[in-house]
Chain A
Amino acid sequence: MVNGVVQTGSAHYGWRDWLSQRITAVIMLLYTLLILGVALWNGGIDRAVWQALFASSAFKLASFLFMLALLWHAWVGVRNIAMDYIKPTAIRVAFQTAVICVLIAYAGWTIQILWGSA
């Protein structure tokens, strides 16, 4: 936002984005520490540990939460970058729309990986 002008393609909620960017960051930090703790506890992660980890419902949910935090965090970050550097409104909105589509597809891919049969 420059001189009180809200850009087309911004979500208009600076405060909400500021807060959600930090909350999602803390969620990802905790998940990173969890993975690090599992690796240290087992002296590294081999295929058996890896498979057992992803067989656990609790870990699946934690991983899903991590991915949702990551995708939301990525959206706020990429949107900020787009608002700074892509000046033509049509191109910016098209880019942001494409990013949203890709991020939603990633969420679907995550569900497939965690709960799919393949």
Chain B
Amino acid sequence: MAALDRPVVKPRPVYLNLLAIRQPLAAVVSILHRISGALLFAVGIPALLWAVQRSLASPETFARWQATMAHPLAKLVVLGLAWAYLHHLLAGVRHLMLDLHVGVDLPSARRSAAVVFVLSLLLTLIVAVRLW
């Protein structure tokens, strides 16, 4: 009975190995929200400003911009950024809904996470079809 006399002291803080845990879909959507946001900051904003500037400056720069955009690699970048924007936007709308206490119970929250995940991929697919 000696074990019961001693208070059980767990080592804290507890560090979880996130890579060893099977993440629920909401967690995956959450980390993708962060990753897509970082991508939009690092690549999306300069690419957006560059594209708008080139497309507006003159007919020549517009034509050259169009030619650049026709390149498969450029299309791939646009597709990646389109996914990042769509995922970030939809995950953001889900966040706003949760803030308004809409769909906060577990089944609803799981369902909306799946909707964000699938819908952003479907819309990205539409962008891909339009690009190629």
Contacts and interface: CB of A to CB of B under 8 A. Distances in A.
Interface of A: 22, 25-26, 28-29, 32, 47, 50-51, 54, 70-71, 74, 77-78, 81, 106, 109-110, 112-113, 118
Q: What 5 A-B pairs come out closest when comparing CB atoms?
A: A74-B41, A77-B37, A113-B53, A25-B92, A109-B49
A25 B34 contact: no
B30 interface: no
Q: Is the interface of A mostly helix, strand, loop or mixed?
A: helix
A20 B62 CA distance: 35
B77 interface: no
A48 to B, nearest CB: 11
A75 to B, nearest CB: 9
Contacts, number: 44
Given A28-B89, A29-B89, A51-B56, 13 more contacts: A22-B96, A26-B96, A29-B92, A47-B62, A54-B56, A74-B37, A74-B45, A77-B34, A77-B37, A77-B41, A81-B34, A113-B49, A113-B53
B93 interface: yes
Contacts of A29: 89, 92-93
Interface string B82-120: 000000010011001001000000000000000000000
B127 interface: no
A54 B122 CA distance: 30
Nearest to B45: A106
B57 interface: yes
A67 B20 CA distance: 40
A106 B40 CA distance: 14
Nearest to A63: B52
Nearest to A44: B130
B92 A70 contact: no
Contacts of B45: 70-71, 74, 106
B103 to A, nearest CB: 17
